[in-house]
Amino acid sequence: MRAIIQRVNSASITIESEIPKKMSKGLVVLFAASKDDIRDATPALVEKLAAKTANLRIFNDDNDRMNLSAIELGLSIMVVSQFTLFADTRKGNRPSFIEAANSPDARRIYDLYVQKLREYPFREFITGSFGAKMNVELENNGPVTIIIDTKEWENHS
């Protein structure tokens, strides 16, 4: 699983032609599952990723150090599925997406990740619509962007 986590001042998402959903300061998470995650993304691993996301200390404290989480500050979160995070660009100029999980499995893993994140007390909780055309607008704060790939956890505790 990959999560691109951005610290934002504000964000909004428009799903197809619906009214935009807006949030205040917090996190925007772009999430994707790979073919390997169909086998490897256990509920415990998804829960660990959700906990890491919610508790990631990337907001500044009174000493201007990144030492506080969105949860500690009572901030918001937006989670958007984005299979293109598994684009393979090694050959040619057209990305290949063969490493991305198939739609039913990716949706199952995404839904579990969202379900686990909902257990945390975010001020606002916004999600995209799996597989839909969406427009995301955000004001990145910092900018601070963190990439988490659970494959990197395999050899580290």
For the chain, give the secondary structure using H, E and C. Answer: CEEEEEEEEEEEEEECCCCCEEECCEEEEEEECEHHHHHHCCHHHHHHHHHHHHHCEEEECCCCCEEEEHHHHCCEEEEEECHHHHCECCCCCCCECCCECCHHHHHHHHHHHHHHHCCCCCCCEEECCCCCCEEEEEEEEEEEEEEEEHHHHCCCC
CATH classification at residue 80:
3.50.80.10
In a domain, 146, yes or no: yes
Whether residue 115 lies in the annotated active site: no
Q: Give the pLDDT of residue 156.
A: 55
User: Does residue 13 lie in a domain region?
Assistant: yes
Looking at residue 155, its pLDDT comes to: 63
Q: Residue 95 falls within a domain, yes or no?
A: yes
Any catalytic annotation for residue 130? no
Q: Is residue 157 part of a domain?
A: no
Domains in the chain, number:
1
Active site residue 84: yes
Query: How would you write the pLDDT of the chain (157 residues) with one tens digit per residue?
Result: 999 999 999 999 999 988 999 999 999 999 999 999 998 889 999 999 999 999 999 999 999 999 999 999 999 999 999 999 999 999 999 999 999 999 999 999 999 999 999 999 999 999 999 888 999 999 999 999 999 999 998 765 5
Selected catalytic residue, list 82, 86, 122, 127: 82
Per the structure, the complete domain to which residue 15 belongs is given by 2-152
Check 31, 59, 83, 122 and give the catalytic one. 83
